[in-house]
Structure 1
Amino acid sequence: MSTDDPVRSSPDAPAAPSPGIEALPVGAVFAHMSLTSAHIKAGATLLAALAIESWEMLSLTYVAGDLERDLHMNSAQLGLVISALFLGMIPGALVWGPLADRIGRRRTCLWSFTGYGVLAVLSALAPDFGLLMAARVLSGFAFAGVFTITFPYFEELLPVRSRGRAAVFLAAGWPFGTLAAVGVAALVGGHGWRAVVLVSATASLWALAIRRWVPESPYWLAQQGRSDEAYDVLARLGATDLDRTRPLTVPGPPAGSIRGLLKGSLARVTVIQVAVNFLFSWGYWGLQSWLPTLLQDRGLSASSSLGFVAVSAVFMIPGYVSAAWLTGRFGRKKVFVGYVLAAAAGGFFFADAHTLTGLYAGMFGLSFFSLGAWGVWDAWVGELYPSPVRGMGYSLGVVGQRVANTAAPSLIGLLLAHSTGFTSTVIFIDLFLVATALLGLALPETEGKELR
Structure 2
Amino acid sequence: MTAVEQRTLPIGAAFDRMPFTRRHVLIALALFIAFVIESWEQLALIYVAGDLGAQFGVDEAGIGLVLSAVAFGMIPGVLIWGPVADRIGRKPAAFWSLLAYGVVAFASAFSPNLETLVTLRVASGLALAGVYTITFPYFLELLPTRHRGRAAVYLSIGWPIGMLAAIGASVALGSLGWHVVVIASAAAGLWAFAIRAWVPESPYWLAARGRQEEARAVLRSLGSADADATFTVSATRVGNPLDLFRGRLARITVLMLVLNFAFNWGYWGLQTWLPTLLQEKGLSLSASLGFAALSAVMMIPGYVSASLLTGQFGRKKVFLVYVVAAVLGGLWFATAGSTVELYLGNFVLAFFSMGAWGVWNTWNGEFYPTALRGTGYSWATAAQLVATAAAPSAVGAMLAGATGFTATILIINAFMVVTALLAVPLPETEGRELE
Length-normalised TM-score, structure 2: 0.98
Change (3 A) 1:430 1:241: closer
User: 178, 181, 194: which one pairs with 1:196?
Assistant: 181
8 A contact 1:92–1:141 mirrored in 2: yes
Identity of aligned residues (%): 56
Match of 1:112 in 2: 97
Q: Secondary structure at the match of 1:300?
A: coil
Deviation at 1:213, TM superposition (A): 1.0
1:413 and 2:396 are equivalent in the alignment = yes
Distance 2:333 2:234 in 1: 47
Instruction: Give the AA of the match of 1:167.
Output: A
Q: Would the aligned equivalents of 1:101 and 1:390 in 2 still touch at CA under 8 Å?
A: yes
Residue 259 of structure 1, CA deviation? 2.1
Tell me the amino acid that sits aligned with residue 126 of structure 2. Answer: F
1:241 to partner: Cα distance: 5.0
Q: Secondary structure at the match of 1:382?
A: coil
2:106 aligned partner: 121
1:321-400 equivalences under 5 Å are: 321-400=304-383
Q: Does 1:135 align with 2:120?
A: yes
- Please say if residues 252 and 387 of structure 1, whose CA atoms lie closer than 8 Å, have aligned partners that are also in contact: no
CA offset digits 1:330-370 (Å, max 9, x no partner)? 00000111101100110110011132211110111110000
CA deviations 1:50-101 (Å, max 9, x no partner) are 0110000001100000000001111111111101100111000000000000
Letter in 1 for 2:37: I
Q: How far did residue 240 of structure 1 move?
A: 2.3
Query: SS where residue 248 of structure 2 aligns?
Result: helix
Measure, in 2, the Cα distance between the counterparts of 1:211 and 1:405: 29
Coordinate RMSD, CA, aligned: 1.1
Distance, in Å, in 2 between the alignment partners of 1:270 and 1:294 is 34
Residue in 1 that maps onto 2:255: 272
CA distance in 1, matches of 2:310, 2:109: 41
> Is there any run of 5+ residues in structure 1 with no aligned partner, and where?
1-19
Query: Aligned residue for 1:434?
Result: 417
> Contact (CA 8 Å) 1:102, 1:255: kept in 2 or not?
yes
Distance 1:170 1:27 in 2: 21
| C-alpha distance 135-241 of structure 1, shift in aligned 2 (>3 A) | closer
1:236 aligns with 2:221: yes
Deviation at 1:23, TM superposition (A): 3.3
Instruction: State how far apart, in whole Å, the 2-side matches of 1:266 and 1:39 are.
Output: 30
Distance 2:416 2:404 in 1: 20
- Offset of 1:283 from its aligned partner? 0.2
Partners of 2:402 and 2:226 in 1: how far apart?
A: 67
2:37 aligned to 49, 52, 55, which one? 52
Q: How many residues align?
A: 431
Cα gap change, 1:199/1:242 in structure 2, threshold over 3 Å: closer, same or farther? Answer: closer
**Residues 194-251 of structure 1, C-alpha deviations (whole Å, 9 max, x = no match):** 11001110000111111111111000111111111111110111112533xx432221
Deviation string, structure 1 residues 143-195 (Cα, Å, up to 9, x no partner): 00000000000000011111111111110100100000000000000000111
> What stretches of structure 1 move > 4 A for 4+ residues in a row?
none
Q: Aligned to 1:24, what secondary structure does the other structure show? A: strand
Gaps of 5+ in 2: none
Amino acid in the other structure paired with 2:124: S
